[in-house]
Structure 1
Amino acid sequence: MNPLITDFARTEQRTPVIVALDFADADSTLAFVRRLEPSLCQLKIGKELFTASGRSLAESLINQGFKLFLDLKYHDIPNTVAQACRVAADMGVWMVDVHASGGRRMMEAAAEAVANSVQKPLLIGVTVLTSMAKEDLAELGIGISIEEQVLRLAKLVQSSGLDGVVCSAHEAAPLRDALGQEFALVTPGIRLDTAGNKDDQRRIMTPAQALAAGSTYLVMGRPVTQAADPVAVLREVNTLAAEMV
């Protein structure tokens, strides 16, 4: 069963698309966002844009009615991560993430920090970055496959009280089977056409492939932000998702 048809998805998710705002500054970001509608997508701010533009841009997007994923991948001692997540929750973000490799105590502290927020954000654990391959894990002293490491970390994330994980869509099907229908799977590396991929994402899928595999949310950057008609792309993916329910 695709997670889009669960009660969780119906109440929380108007659209599976999260648009990655990979712009260098606030002005170019806001110029692009003016072309979008909150009903068509969620938005994601990562490290580069947040470092350049900070809290004011994030709050501006939230005030425009967009659900915001603050993708800063916190990874530090438990108290530091907990305090950062609490601040993010106070900002009104819809989703925030931490590195699962920070361990159980860090993730439990983060979950406790946001538990009583007025608007509790989805708290998501990052497993293995989609830019990484098996040889990258080996250099870190991890002698198992990417799939095994992702599953190991995802189980730790769930048992630590978080709402879901960031993972490649290639890992979505086994994670869905292992972790249930309500556990959110946020999958970057989504491309309209996987042929001739030239960017830094190695483990990629199309929207149809990712949804069929069990993805809850599809993170799409350049396929939307560099499209001649971003709204047309979003409507196409949302229509596809609706047809798959």
Structure 2
Amino acid sequence: MSKSPIIIALDYSDEKPVWELLNQFGDEQLFVKVGMELYYSCGNSLLSKLKEKGHNIFLDLKLHDIPNTVGRAMQSLARLEVDIINVHAAGGCLMMERALEGLEKGTLSGKDRPTCIAVTQLTSTSENVMQEELKVNGKIEDIVVHYASLAKRSGLDGVVSSPLEVPLIKEACGSSFLTVTPGIRLAGDSKDDQQRITTPKEARSLESDFIVVGRSITASVDPLLALQTIKKEWSEGL
């Protein structure tokens, strides 16, 4: 996909701060992430406005339900013409296959199917939480690679993971298998609720395809400068 590798997470609960942020970038075409909080508040009308402005959209809803329900949901969501959409790999192969079928069925004639990726483990999940609370045994990197392999087997285009697991995912699933990596912070920024994090430069050197950046941009006193800094760091990671 010939789109910006830097995805800005619009982690807001209403529309006003979205435009207060985006207006600071002028006419620049951005790649933005709309998650559950914002989508459930503003719905499809916000997506339409973002598309009218020429922005690319990652609709981050992490669908996880019985296969037929996810398939039908994806058929409806495909009509929104977002660029990336996701499910949770923990739903299993059949669910992921149905998700892809739904997207293909719902994509309008002459349009590209949205890229479909699967969440492996949230970057807020530590190995201890995964093992003790979720009762998923094994090392976190092994579980992430296992889920990524299931996603590839199901025909999906890639996964969401920490940048730290990207080399293992590429080794198991091939270099063309997309990795979208949240948990990105500039040096000195607060970790907040994230556990497995890196800088943009580190993520690039680990071969992430896309990075998702939230508070390092949205909480900055100068979001435009923050984005420029992230772009510079990303280019230095080659």
TM-score normalised by the chain length of structure 2: 0.92
For residues 128 and 4 of structure 2, what CA distance do their matches in structure 1 show? 35
User: Quick one: higher RCO (CA 8 Å, sep 6+), 1 or 2?
Assistant: 1
Q: Which stretch shifts more, 107-116 or 232-241?
A: 232-241
Question: Residue 172 of structure 2 aligns with which residue?
Answer: 178
For residues 184 and 155 of structure 2, what CA distance do their matches in structure 1 show? 27
Question: Residue 138 of structure 2 aligns with which residue?
Answer: 144
Question: Quick one: which of 56, 70, 77 aligns to 2:59?
Answer: 70
Instruction: State the Cα deviation string for residues 4-23 of structure 1 (Å, max 9, x = none).
Output: xxxxxxxx133210000011
**Structure 2, unaligned stretches of length 5 or more?**
none
One-letter amino acid of the counterpart of residue 25, structure 1: D
For residues 233 and 189 of structure 2, what CA distance do their matches in structure 1 show? 23
Question: Quick one: which of 13, 16, 22 aligns to 2:11?
Answer: 22
Task: Please state whether the residue corresponding to 1:142 is helix, strand or coil.
Answer: coil
Task: Please state whether the residue corresponding to 1:178 is helix, strand or coil.
Answer: helix
The structural deviation recorded for 1:73 is: 0.3
- Structure 2 residue 107 is matched with structure 1 residue 114: no
Contact 2:185 2:191 in 1 (8 A): no
For residues 88 and 70 of structure 1, what CA distance do their matches in structure 2 show? 9
For residues 32 and 107 of structure 1, what CA distance do their matches in structure 2 show? 34
Give matches, 1:45-194, under 5 Å.
Answer: 45-115=34-104, 117=107, 118-138=111-131, 139-193=133-187
For residues 38 and 178 of structure 1, what CA distance do their matches in structure 2 show? 39
The structural deviation recorded for 1:134 is: 1.6
For residues 127 and 61 of structure 1, what CA distance do their matches in structure 2 show? 27
Question: Quick one: which of 9, 17, 24 aligns to 1:35?
Answer: 24
The structural deviation recorded for 1:231 is: 1.9
Question: Residue 212 of structure 1 aligns with which residue?
Answer: 205
- Structure 2 residue 33 is matched with structure 1 residue 44: yes
CA spacing shift, 1:181–1:39, aligned 2, 3 Å: farther
For residues 114 and 64 of structure 2, what CA distance do their matches in structure 1 show? 18
Contact 2:84 2:115 in 1 (8 A): yes
CA spacing shift, 1:37–1:149, aligned 2, 3 Å: farther
Question: Quick one: which of 228, 234, 237 aligns to 1:241?
Answer: 234
CA spacing shift, 1:244–1:38, aligned 2, 3 Å: farther
The structural deviation recorded for 1:181 is: 1.5
Aligned pair count?
Answer: 233
Instruction: State the Cα deviation string for residues 147-190 of structure 1 (Å, max 9, x = none).
Output: 11001000000110001000001111111222111111010000
Percent of matched pairs sharing the same residue: 39
One-letter amino acid of the counterpart of residue 24, structure 1: S
Task: Please state whether the residue corresponding to 2:25 is helix, strand or coil.
Answer: coil
Task: Please state whether the residue corresponding to 1:115 is helix, strand or coil.
Answer: helix
For residues 99 and 28 of structure 2, what CA distance do their matches in structure 1 show? 29
Contact 1:44 1:69 in 2 (8 A): yes
